[in-house]
Amino acid sequence: MSSRSNILAAVLANQPDNSPLPDVSIFNDLYTSEDAVERFIATAMGIGSSVHRVAGIDEINKVISERFTHGPVVSNLSGINNALAVDDDNYHAADVELSVFKVRLAVAENGALWLTEEDIQKRVLPFICQHLALVVNAANIVGSMHQAYERIGNARYNYGTFISGPSKTADIEQSLVLGAHGPRSLTVFIID
Amino acid sequence: MKQSTMDHAARANDFNRDEERVNWHDETLWWIRQKRDLSVNRLPEWEELREAASQIKHNALSNLHGYLQAFEANAIANGVKVHWAANADEHNRIVHNILKSHGINRMVKSKSMLTEECHLNDYLAENGIEVIDSDLGERIVQLANEPPSHIVLPCIHKKKGEIGDLFHRHLGSAEGETDPQVLTETARQHLREVFLTRKAALTGVNFAVAETGEFVVCTNEGNADMGAHLADVHIAAMGIEKIIPLRKHLSIFLRLLTRSATGQPITTYSSHFKTPAAGKEMHVILVDNGRSTQLGREDFRNSLKCIRCGACMNTCPVYRRSGGHSYHSAIAGPIGSILAPNLDMKQHADLPFASTLCGSCSNVCPVKIDIHDQLYKWRQVIVKEGYAPEAKKLMMKGMALTLSSPAFYRFAGKAGRTVMRLAPFAAGNKLNPWYNQRDMPEAPAQSFAEWYKKNRL
Amino acid sequence: MRIGLFIPCYVDQFYPKAAIATLQLLEKLGLDVDFPLRQTCCGQPMANSGFEHLTGGCNELFVDNFAAFDYIVCPSGSCTLHIKQHLHSHKNEAAATAIRGKVYELVEFLTDIIKVKHLEASFPHKVGLHQSCHGQRGLHLSQMTELVAAPYSKPMQLLNMVKGINMVPLKRADECCGFGGTFCVTEEAVSVKMGKDRVEDHVVAGAEYITAADLSCLMHMEGILRRQNSPVKVIHIAQILNAAL
């Protein structure tokens, strides 16, 4: 017999009687969306992100031009000054200074933003760039992870990731260092 | 990795020769426990979340046969190649064969306790394949030729001076450099070159969703994603107990996992891998290695609920003062002590005794594993299976005999509290380990029973 | 209401003052207390070492001694918990089951059954309260710091009735002292280190006495204090609650 059938047979023989699933919908309404933006900002800043509430693309460009001047900028958002399109062939991912992505979901309780392959096209881009900027509409910030997965629902995605803050490590004597392997900073723009 | 035959107590004794280091280790882990406390106390629904997670895991284990097949079918439909490994050896061979079929002899790996359990790195090295661990802590212990001492914080036992020395010798950092910022930057540059040049990446799996065939990998550093996205071949290794039924259940587990582990509200990256990227390959290896046996042990199957947060280690007063290596098992601490005897009872017969049964581990466990009760139950099994030391058996039989007989107990007691010499802490003479650093209470003139007879009867 | 006094073996032999204080305290509250003379031990030392199968003799003896009482009261959380969780009888399982439901640790008996509101006691000293794990996490004498739940403490509820007492705050409110039964000798290095750290917390907080509802923990800590020639003393909670004005 194959290992597959051996394992499945052993599991079937040894698994206990059915234990029912709990109702997890009880957690969905614990957090209102009213103060979600304020809570998102507090949490995101607490874990090392910088957050800007902006009216539109001009303010985003202003912040970017002041802070990121050392290399190529790549974005899925039109209107970012001097940005290359994600599918442009004229850059190496490893050289990217800043990636800017518009995303469709963010979570107040943990400062995380949800990106899918559809948003970013190249999976490695939000990781390999030196700095990352994510843009989200205020209306798309939900209170909790329960509400986030309610929004995601049965959506089809090939790859998706929650990103909360810059890449970090505390492996050396629990000293927090930003910029482990991925972006050294995360800038979040909230469009009201 | 070197494996000596010393038991937990002997290794813990070695660890305690440097009391300052023990204090530092204890305080560091206690600080993480405190961060965990602060974080979980921000969620009034915390205990309900733990209960929900526990129930979901019970459901998953009780329907594992069906969920595994659903996961497999969905993953295959997503374009993932699914493999089944009955044991560590088969798991290692599967990884090797995937690499061989692509002519790959260098691989980058993110954190996977399962591959530690299977000793994958050693196996691949023997077969001429170089593996570089990309989690900073894992890279550090790899350079030191040591196993991780903690499942979430692999080099929590190492001081920055020791890490600086390792980096100076292996990665060319300046001699005497101990600044964590500088050392981390050194590792970043070194590992970036590795990520960009490896054609295969292996990651662990935190959760695998039966409903969709996707799996989730959580890191703070981004190393799993860097490795997987830059390689042509992504291999994900998972124990069969990592299955959860529905995607929406991820909300429960992702809320619990990192708050329990480090006090963060979530890891920096929680990546959901569903299909391979265009032109690339993705493999999932479903590993049993004793898990189906544990599933059949009624008293111990709940250990399979574990989501590897490490909270039980951080809170364990014994772990904090004995270090992860004292457990001589891939997974240290309280949870390791209830998992390891299932794999090899004789080799790990000491581990369930490396606890005071204080119960703190069960209280911090985000999926409500009754860890300390299982430690007690393993002790009974280990003794019954004949793995107790002979001297201990004799002592216990002597105690049982004396304490079953009021007459013998009273007689012995009259003869200068001699009954208590049968007690392990008082046994006999100054060679008893009790006396190394502790005194005994002064024997009173009369026992309570003697006082009672004089004063109340 | 007839109360059977269950005095653990090591308390009988080494700490008779704590047993006397327990008896006197219950008598002061007007209770009818009897001490069955044929009692020995609850069997926990064997059971926690993996030899629960050798505790049959202790179990039968326990049932014989205590089946007839309305309540069984014991000045040890650990021994009480062991009886609650593991007492069984081949001869009379019904009696064993009944005992598991009517055995109480002293503190919880006073707060939950007798519902003591007032004590005539005085102890004008600085005291640190050690939370013994089996009493706390097993019998729930106090809230546990790991849980997200409202705090309470039955020992503190009683200690607060004692005149002149000054309870000192600890850095780690409910960390284990490292006694752990046979653990104290089989894992001597860690056991001692845990004990030293626990003692240090009380000493730094300025305690003159360390108290607890379990003498096994106190015996361990006393062993360390005495070896250090420390002036800090250990005392069972019954002795404080019974301390005369």
The tens digit of pLDDT for each residue in B43-82 reads 999 999 999 999 999 999 999 999 999 999 999 999 999 9
Burial tier of C235 (Cβ tally within 10 Å: 0-12, 13-18, 19+):
buried
Q: How far apart are the first and last CA of chain B?
A: 67
% of chain C at pLDDT higher than 90: 96
Among the ranges A48-52, B386-390, B408-412, which has the highest mean pLDDT value?
Answer: A48-52
Q: What digits encode the pLDDT tens for the residues C107-151?
A: 999 999 999 999 999 999 999 999 999 999 999 999 999 999 999
- Note the pLDDT of residue B429: 55
CATH class of C126-241: alpha beta
- Note the pLDDT of residue A142: 96
Please give the Cα distance from C168 to C202 (Å, whole number). 8
Please give the Cα distance from C175 to C169 (Å, whole number). 13
Q: How far is B153 from chain C (nearest CA, A)?
A: 20
**Close Cβ partners of B213 (under 8 Å, ≥ 6 residues apart):** B71, B72, B73, B74, B75, B76, B77, B78, B80, B274
Among A residues 92-151, those touching chain B with beta carbons less than 8 Å apart: 94, 109-112, 117, 122-124, 127-128, 144-146, 148-150
- Note the pLDDT of residue B413: 56
When CB atoms are compared, the residue of A3, A172, A179 closest to B188 is: A179
Query: Is C185 within 8 Å of B424 when comparing Cβ atoms?
Result: yes
Instruction: Choose, out of B320, B362, B425, B446, the residue to mutate when testing the contact with C (most C CBs < 10 Å).
Output: B425
* CATH number of A30-191, picked from 3.40.50.2000, 3.40.50.10420, 3.40.50.720, 1.10.287.370: 3.40.50.10420
Q: How far is C120 from chain B (nearest CA, A)?
A: 23
Report which of B169, B116, B162 is spatially closest to residue B3, judged by C-alpha positions: B116
Q: Residues A67-73: what's their mean pLDDT?
A: 89
Q: Residues B310-325: what's their mean pLDDT?
A: 98
Query: Is A145 within 8 Å of B134 when comparing Cβ atoms?
Result: no
Query: Is B184 within 8 Å of A20 when comparing Cβ atoms?
Result: no
Query: Is B255 within 8 Å of A144 when comparing Cβ atoms?
Result: yes
Buried b (16+ CB within 10 A) or exposed e, A50-80: bbbebeebeebbeebeeebeeebbbbbbeeb
Q: Residues A8-26: what's their mean pLDDT?
A: 97
Report which of B432, B269, C228 is spatially closest to residue A127, judged by C-alpha positions: B269
Residues of C in contact with B12 (CB under 8 A): 187, 189-190
Q: Which residue has the higher pLDDT, C170 or B6?
A: C170
> Strand ranges (DSSP E) for B60-182?
81-85, 106-109, 130-133
Q: Residues B407-433: what's their mean pLDDT?
A: 60
- Note the pLDDT of residue C193: 98
Residues of B in contact with C48 (CB under 8 A): 357, 376, 379
Q: How far is A14 from chain B (nearest CA, A)?
A: 4
- Note the pLDDT of residue B416: 47
Long-range contacts at B340-349 (CB < 8 A, ≥ 24 apart)? B341/B378, B341/B381, B341/B382, B342/B290, B342/B293, B342/B294, B342/B297, B342/B300, B342/B303, B343/B117, B343/B289, B343/B290, B345/B381, B345/B382, B345/B385, B345/B387, B346/B387, B349/B382, B349/B387, B349/B388
Please give the Cα distance from C58 to C88 (Å, whole number). 10
Q: What digits encode the pLDDT tens for the residues C77-86?
A: 999 999 999 9
Q: Which SS3 state, helix, strand or coil, does residue B203 take?
A: strand
User: Which pLDDT band, with edges at 50, 70 and 90, does B423 fall under?
Assistant: low
> Strand ranges (DSSP E) for C52-129?
71-74, 103-105, 126-129
pLDDT at C62 over 50: yes
Q: How far is B417 from chain A (nearest CA, A)?
A: 49
Residues of C in contact with B40 (CB under 8 A): 148
- B222 within 8 A of A181, measured Cβ to Cβ: yes
Q: How far is B411 from chain C (nearest CA, A)?
A: 12
pLDDT averaged over every residue in chain B: 94
Beta bridge partners of B209: B244
Query: Is B406 within 8 Å of C188 when comparing Cβ atoms?
Result: no
pLDDT at A81 over 70: yes
- Note the pLDDT of residue B444: 87
When CB atoms are compared, the residue of C13, C49, C145 closest to B392 is: C49
- Note the pLDDT of residue B434: 85
Residue C113 is given by DSSP the state I
Residues of B in contact with C146 (CB under 8 A): 37, 315, 360, 363-364
- Note the pLDDT of residue B272: 98
Please give the Cα distance from B75 to B211 (Å, whole number). 10
Query: Is A26 within 8 Å of B48 when comparing Cβ atoms?
Result: yes
Q: How far is B306 from chain C (nearest CA, A)?
A: 18
Domain boundaries, chain C: 2-113, 126-241
Which chains border C (3 or more CB–CB pairs < 8 Å)? B
% of chain B at pLDDT higher than 90: 86
% of chain B at pLDDT higher than 70: 94
Question: What is the DSSP secondary-structure string of B83-97?
Answer: EEESSHHHHHHHHHH
- Note the pLDDT of residue B433: 83
- B262 within 8 A of B34, measured Cβ to Cβ: no
pLDDT at B414 over 70: no
Q: How far is B367 from chain C (nearest CA, A)?
A: 13
Residues of A in contact with B140 (CB under 8 A): 171-172
| Residue A86: C-alpha distances to residues B203, B424, C108, C143 (Å) | 26, 70, 67, 55
pLDDT at B11 over 70: yes
Residue of A nearest to B304 (CA): A15
Q: Residues B226-245: what's their mean pLDDT?
A: 98
- C18 within 8 A of C217, measured Cβ to Cβ: no
Report which of A91, A109, A111 is spatially closest to residue A146, judged by C-alpha positions: A109
- Note the pLDDT of residue B426: 57
Buried b (16+ CB within 10 A) or exposed e, B348-363: bbbbbbbbbbbbbbbb
Beta bridge partners of A191: A54, A137
Please give the Cα distance from C168 to B395 (Å, whole number). 40
- B289 within 8 A of B88, measured Cβ to Cβ: yes
Q: Which residue has the higher pLDDT, B433 or B149?
A: B149
Q: What digits encode the pLDDT tens for the residues B167-215?
A: 999 999 999 999 999 999 999 999 999 999 999 999 999 999 999 999 9
- Note the pLDDT of residue B427: 52
| Residue A168: C-alpha distances to residues A123, A179, B135, B181, B439 (Å) | 19, 5, 11, 11, 48
Among A residues 73-92, those touching chain B with beta carbons less than 8 Å apart: none
Q: What is the CATH number of domain B46-289?
A: 3.40.50.10420
Q: How far is B338 from chain A (nearest CA, A)?
A: 18
Helix H or strand E segment including A107? strand A105-107
Among A residues 143-182, those touching chain B with beta carbons less than 8 Å apart: 144-146, 148-150, 152, 154, 157-175, 177, 179-182
Q: Tokens 């509409």 — which residue?
A: A137
- Note the pLDDT of residue A74: 96
Domain boundaries, chain B: 46-289, 392-456
Q: How many CB pairs under 8 A join A and B?
A: 237
Q: What digits encode the pLDDT tens for the residues C144-179?
A: 999 999 999 999 999 999 999 999 999 999 999 999
Helix ranges, B316-365 (H): 317-322, 333-343, 360-364
B with A: 3 or more CB pairs under 8 Å? Answer: yes
Please give the Cα distance from B373 to B256 (Å, whole number). 22
C with B: 3 or more CB pairs under 8 Å? Answer: yes
pLDDT at B4 over 90: no
Among B137-141, B296-300, B406-410, which is the least confidently predicted range? B406-410
Query: Is B363 within 8 Å of C35 when comparing Cβ atoms?
Result: no
- Cβ atoms within 10 Å of B429's Cβ, excluding its own: 7
Q: What digits encode the pLDDT tens for the residues A88-101?
A: 988 999 999 999 99
- Note the pLDDT of residue B43: 97
Q: How many residues does chain C have?
A: 245
- B440 within 8 A of C223, measured Cβ to Cβ: yes
Residue of B nearest to C229 (CA): B439
Query: Is B37 within 8 Å of C145 when comparing Cβ atoms?
Result: yes
Instruction: Choose, out of B249, B268, B284, B298, the residue to mutate when testing the contact with A (most A CBs < 10 Å).
Output: B268
Report which of A110, C185, C200, A4 is spatially closest to residue B270, judged by C-alpha positions: A110
Residues of A in contact with B88 (CB under 8 A): none
Instruction: Choose, out of C55, C187, C217, C239, the residue to mutate when testing the contact with B (most B CBs < 10 Å).
Output: C187
Among B residues 306-325, those touching chain C with beta carbons less than 8 Å apart: 315, 317-318, 321-322
Please give the Cα distance from B392 to B400 (Å, whole number). 12
- Note the pLDDT of residue B391: 82
Which chains border B (3 or more CB–CB pairs < 8 Å)? A, C
Q: Residues B288-315: what's their mean pLDDT?
A: 98
User: Which pLDDT band, with edges at 50, 70 and 90, does B424 fall under?
Assistant: low
Among B268-282, B327-341, B418-432, which is the least confidently predicted range? B418-432
Query: Is B16 within 8 Å of C189 when comparing Cβ atoms?
Result: yes
What ipTM is given for this predicted complex?
0.98
Question: What is the DSSP secondary-structure string of B231-257?
Answer: SSEEEEEEEGGGEES-GGGHHHHHHHH
Pairing of strands B130-133, B106-109: parallel
- Residue B193 tokens, joined: 């070159």
**What's the helix, strand, coil split of chain A in %, to 5?**
30, 25, 45
Helix H or strand E segment including C27? helix C16-28
- Note the pLDDT of residue B435: 84
Which chains border A (3 or more CB–CB pairs < 8 Å)? B
**Close Cβ partners of A95 (under 8 Å, ≥ 6 residues apart):** A71, A72
Residues of A in contact with B298 (CB under 8 A): 16
When CB atoms are compared, the residue of A11, A117, A169 closest to B220 is: A169
Q: How far is A167 from chain B (nearest CA, A)?
A: 5
Beta bridge partners of C86: none
| Residue B122: C-alpha distances to residues B1, B96, B330, C35 (Å) | 8, 12, 13, 63
Q: Residues B96-122: what's their mean pLDDT?
A: 98
Angle CA(B379)–CA(B383)–CA(B387) in degrees, nearest 5?
110
pLDDT at B3 over 80: no
CA atoms within 13 A on the CB side of B217: 28
- Residue B121 tokens, joined: 């790195």
Domain boundaries, chain A: 30-191
- B397 within 8 A of B380, measured Cβ to Cβ: no
Please give the Cα distance from A22 to B60 (Å, whole number). 12
Q: Tokens 């008293």 — which residue?
A: B299
- Note the pLDDT of residue B436: 87
Is C146 in CB contact (< 8 Å) with chain B?
yes
pLDDT averaged over every residue in chain C: 96
Query: Is B159 within 8 Å of A173 when comparing Cβ atoms?
Result: yes
Angle between helical axes of B390-403 and C56-66 (0-180°, round to 10):
20
When CB atoms are compared, the residue of C40, C190, C223 closest to B12 is: C190
Residue B174 is given by DSSP the state P
Q: How far apart are the first and last CA of chain A?
A: 61
